[in-house]
Structure formats: structure tokens, C-alpha cells
Structure 1
Amino acid sequence: MPEMPVTPDRPSLPAWWARRPPAAGAAVMATGIISIGLHLIGHETVSRIALVLAVIAWLALAADFVLRLVRDRERWRREAGTPPGLTAVAATTVLGTRLSLLGWQGLAEALLALAALLWPFLLVAVARNLRRGHMPGGVFLMCVATQGLAVLGSTIATALGCEWLTHAALVLFWLGIVLYGVAFAHFDLWQVARGAGDQWVAGGALAISALAGSKLVAAHEVNPYLWNSDDQGVLRVATGVLLALDLAWYCVLFVAEAVWPRPHYDVRRWATVFPMGMTAVATLMTATALDTAPGLHTTGQVLLWIAVATWLVVAAAAIVDARATARSARLGSTRPGSGRLRSGRLRSRGPR
């Protein structure tokens, strides 16, 4: 009698989702920053469409974050100790910043509180597992998550006139710069040539630092009693230097993509889109805050459309990859002798 097909233990889509790595949080970060950028240049309708996509993705990832914490504590701890685990904080702050720009300060404050609650635990967990000179670009998420709190805090503080929150954001801004130095010391520079996409975070961390600086510069313009003019001058210089370093990283990474092309899809490609979008937003905001470099705003617009185009390419590749993975899971589960699908993985059938 012919062997009957084996029914999978779970549908292929949940199986694919179960294999989703923490780095998938970068998709929320990328979509959220694209929404912010489009808002800044006046494309509000498209910006809100991107925001809806970011919210849906964030809710799905938040639910998965809680379910893993409850049902699979060991895996949760293991993933929380890796740099991509910090995307939980960074994605929450990016989404909160966009909601604050919409005037939804209550929701933005709730997301700030959630991100601030997660940040110290995840940061300490990642710091315990650092390996000098051997880390991928995701190590810079230590800086990104910290500066994300500074950006969201200063955005809310400016909207509500909350001085203590602005000063807290200032502390986080300088701490983020220190953490960038720590991350750089542990970064494998060869990732520029062979990284799977997250090497771009080396520049993106500088971009969000410049964005945080521009937000703090703008906050002082609204309330000149926050700090003295010398402090404001230091902030302006620091913001300009951070943006210049970010643009230099952008050029290096862009050239590296041409010299060492990596055309295959990897979930870490979302960590390419986010720094590209963040560089565009930081350029736009710094152009407004410093108002010293003619043409900087135009540069920011060009960089934003490049980021939007990259987002579309990566999103299309992600859909194709998800469909291919789901198809492979279905075929594998129905092929005679293939074994059952358990915990989102096919049972091994020997060495390849």
C-alpha cells in the first residue's frame, strides 16, 4: 500500500513565523522611519499608509515577544542576549516618534515607557555577550536603541514643554555616543565586505545620533532656558560632526555594495533600509535645526527616495522568500518519508 502523505502539525505560515529571527524587528524600524521621512517632506497620505504597516508589524512582533517569554523562556533569554534583541526597543521608539508627530502624545508616552522599561535589561544582556572585534553590524543597536529613547523623549518633551524629559534625553544622547564607541571596538570591519545587510547599522547609529542631536538643538530654540548658549553650541557642533560621519559611512557602505554585491535576500536587509531612511531623516532634520548648509535639505530628499526604493525592493524580496519558504514547508510535509513538521522545522533526513 502506498504511504499516505503526512499532515503537518501546523500550517506553513505559522511554521515560517516560528523561525522568524529577532532581526525581523528591523522591518518595523525601516517602515517607521520611512513614514517619518515622508511626513517631513509633505507626503502625508503615503506616510500614514507606511505607519499603518509599521503598526501592524509591531503588534505582531509584540505578541510574539510576549508569547515567547511565556511559552519558551529559554529561547527568549537566548535571543534577548543578542544585539538584534534590541530591535524591540528601537522599533518601539521609532513608532512612538511617528505617533508623537501626529499629535498622539498619550500613545507616544506609553511607548516611551515600554521602551524605557525594556532598554536596561536588553542592553545589559547584550553587553554580557560582546566579543571584541568579532561582532556583526547589529552590535551598533546598543547605540541605536539608546538614541531612539533620546529622539522619542525629546520629541514628546518639545510637544508638551516637559523640561525634565528633555534633560533626560540629553543624557541618553551622550550615553548613546559612548555606546557607539563601545560597539565600534567590538565590530568586525570585514563585515563591510561580507555582511548580510546589518553592516549598515554602523552608519545608521550615527544617523540616529545626529537626529537626536538635532531634536535637542530644536528643543533649545523652543525653550532657551533648557541650557546655556555654550552647551547649545557644543550640541550644534556634535550634531554636524555626527551627520558628516554618517554620510561618510553611507558612501563607504554604498561603494562596498557595488564592489562586493550580495543580491540574495536576507532578513537583515531590513537593517540596510533603516539606516538609509534614518540618514535621510537625520539630514532633513539637521538641515532645519542648524540651517547652515545650503542644499542639505535637497540631499535629504534624494536620500529619502533612495531609501523608499530600497524598501520596496526588500519588501518584494521578503514576500517572495516567505512564499518560497511556505511552499517548501508544504512540499516537505506531504512528501512520503519526509517526516513531520515540528516546532517550525523539518526533521533532518541526514547530511546534505
Structure 2
Amino acid sequence: MSRHARLAVAGLNPGYAALVMATGIVSTGLHLFGWSLLSDILLVVGAVALAVLLVAYTWRLISFPQRVVADAQDPARGFGYFTVVAALNVLGMRLALEYHWLVCAVLALVSVPLWLVFTYAVPGAMVVGHRKNPVLPRTNGSWFLWVVGTQSLAGATATVAAKDSDLTSSLAPLAVAFWGIGVVLYLMLVGLVTVRLLDDPVTPHALSPTYWVYMGATAISVLAAAAILALPPKLPVLVATRHVVSGLGFLLWAFGTWWIPLLLAFAARRHLVSNERVGYDPTLWSMVFPLGMYAAASASYGRATGLDFMVDIARVEVWIGFAAWIAVAIAMVKAFIQPERKHSDAATREDNRHG
């Protein structure tokens, strides 16, 4: 392998699988509104990206284990690993729309041990690991990826449960349990991250795109709620929790909607007021994902509960998510091409000098 590839893997952002999350959920939103060709193209892109990233993550784990552990102990980067869990399940739920239930089930099954490891290892390393500085001053929006990963499991589990009658009664309680864990995690983290924003001076650079996961975590909770509400209402666990899931689902949607103007203000503060250059960064996919998820969640929950105005909002929002995906994808391609171009130009100059 080339030195360039080794360096790229060594420095791989733990949260790069947000690329797959964003691509998968924008594909889902387009599919929900009948834009099949665009949806299928993004589905293929997401599947290829997932395959490449799984190879890269595995390579990094084998060749650079110290860096993997260091990232897990880093409060600003560690929760990025939950993007792998969410990527598997978001893509699985999209494939379920094409009746690939078995693939969705396999991807969900693979994500469970990953979720368990990350759930206990990442926060555990921050609590009991050797640390020179306090953890809370380094919190950011990426912490909500813990919620996103958890709710992706809830949604995928409910999706499989709805399509396999033999597994419905056993998987439905598990889906509701994952959903409940995700909601409680969100309530816990929203306090911690908000205190961080209010307690210490926040530079414009610190207002990274990861803060959009504030809203994305509520949106995927709403999507998972819609998947749970699609289960047979006479199931004992649904009899006990249906009203809670439905009610909290709408409240989370409302809270996520409330966040959007504030997040836009964060972006304006960073790029318009402080004139910080807009360049490609892997965390930009953490902004695309919430935009796409808000559309998919609004459409799914609105249809499940008869709230047509949510579907109408989603009909517009899906194109905002798609436009954001296009913009970040173009920026990513340019970022990949430019280093190669610089290297080629340097080599050409060297040849001319010796020619």
C-alpha cells in the first residue's frame, strides 16, 4: 500500500462513517417520496462507502491500535465510533424498503456487539482512564452520536420485528428498550453539552458541524418511534408503552425543530461573523445527516400518526438534505483531488528542474 494510503488510514476520523449515515438517510427520504432513481444511486454510494470504511477501520485497528485507543479516550473524538453502528443500521433500514429484510437483520446483528463495546468502552475510558485534563470542557455535539447509534438499533430492530411475525413478539420489547435507552441518554447528554456551551467561552471554531447532531439525535428518535408504532398495537409491550412512544416522539420532533434556527445561528456566527473559511471536513457529514434524518423522520412519523403537516414539511426538507449532501460530496471530492494534484505538480517541477 502507498504511503499516502497509510497516512490516510492512520489519521482516519472515528466519525467518518457519518458519510454512510448521511447518504443512507437522504436515500431513504428520497425513496419515501417516490424519487427512486436518485434514491437508488445514493444507496449504491452508501453501500460502497460502508465497505471501504469498514476495511479502513479494520486496517487502522490492526496497524495503528494506539491511535484507535487514543481516539476512544478523547472526549472530542471518541463518540465518533458510534457512527459505525448507525451507518450499519441506517443502511439496513434503507435496504428494508427494498424488501431486503434479511440484510437489515444481519447488519443490525453485527452492530449489536459494536454498540455494546462502544457504549461501555468510550465513556468508561473517559471515566476511569488516565487523563491529564477534565473531560467536560472537551465535550461537543459528537456526544449525541451515542444516542444516534442507540436509536438506529431501535429502528432497525423494530423494522425487522414488523416484517417477521415469528420474531415480532420477542424483538418488539427489545426495540422499545433500545428506544427508551436512547431517549434517556439524550436527556442526560443535552444537559452536559449545553452546560459546556454556557459555562466556558466558546470560540467560533468550536461551533463545529457536530452540534447539528443535537437535532439529528431527536430526529432519529422520531424515526425509531415511527418504526415502533408500525408494530401490531396489541403486543403487550405496545399496550404498555404506545402512548409514551407516540407522545415523546412528537415532543422530540418539536424540540428538534426548535433547534434548527439556533444551529443556523451557530453556523452564521462561525462563517459569516467570524469569517472562518468553509472547507471540507469529515464532520460536515454530521450536519448532512440531521437534515436528511429530519425529513425521513417527519415523513415516517407523520404517516404513522396521521399528522399530514409533518409529511408536507418533509416533502420540502428532503431536498434541503439532498442539496446539503451534494455540496459536501463535491467538497469531499475536491479535498481528495487537490492533495494528489499538489503532489503531481511538485513532481513535475522536480522533473523540469532535472530535465
TM, length-normalised to structure 1: 0.85
Aligned to 2:181: 175
Q: Does 1:119 align with 2:115?
A: yes
* In 1: Cα distance, 2:296 partner to 2:241 partner: 24
Q: 1:333 to 1:83 in 2, by over 3 A?
A: farther
Query: Residues 230 and 109 of structure 1: is their aligned pair in 2 closer, same or farther, counting only changes over 3 Å?
Result: closer
Task: Give the deviation of 1:326 after TM superposition.
Answer: 2.7
Which residue identity does 1:19 align to in structure 2? G
Work out whether residues 12 and 326 of structure 1, in 8 Å CA contact, stay in contact via their aligned partners in 2.
no
Q: Is 1:283 equivalent to 2:298 in the alignment?
A: yes
| Distance (whole Å) between structure 2 residues aligned to residue 271 and residue 148 of structure 1 | 15
CA apart distance, 1:195: 2.0
- CA offset digits 1:1-46 (Å, max 9, x no partner): xxxxxxxx92645644543312211111100001111111111121
Which of 27, 38, 44 pairs up with 2:36? 44
Shift, 1:123, TM fit:
1.5
Root-mean-square deviation over aligned CA pairs: 2.3
Task: Give the letter aligned to residue 165 of structure 1.
Answer: L
Which AA in structure 1 matches 2:17?
A: G
**Is it true that 1:61 corresponds to 2:75 in the alignment?**
no
Count of residues in correspondence between the two structures: 325
Specify the alignment match of 2:102 in structure 1: 106
The answer to whether the 8 A contact 2:20-2:49 is kept is yes
1:195 equivalent to 2:201? Answer no
- Residue 191 of structure 2 corresponds to which residue in structure 1? 185
* Amino acid in the other structure paired with 1:171: A
Q: Counterpart of 1:139?
A: 143
The percent identity for this pair of structures is 29
Q: Which amino acid aligns with 2:248?
A: A
Moved more, 188-197 or 231-240: 188-197
Task: Write the distance in 1 (CA, Å) between the matches of 2:137 and 2:190.
Answer: 8
Alignment match, 1:250 = 260
Question: 1:296 and 1:72 mapped to 2: Cα distance?
Answer: 46
| Residues 1:202 and 1:104: Cα distance change in structure 2 (over 3 Å) | same
Q: Is residue 240 from structure 1 mapped to residue 246 from structure 2 by the alignment?
A: no
Q: More deviation in 254-263 or 142-151?
A: 254-263
TM-score (norm 2): 0.85
Structure 1: 5+ residue runs without aligned partners? Answer: 1-8, 337-352
More RCO (CA 8 Å, sep 6+): 1
How many angstroms apart in 1 are the aligned matches of 2:286 and 2:35? 24
Match of 2:132 in 1: none
> How far apart are 1:71 and its partner, in Å?
2.4
Aligned with residue 218 of structure 1, among 210, 230, 234: 230
Give the letter for the 1:168 counterpart.
Answer: L
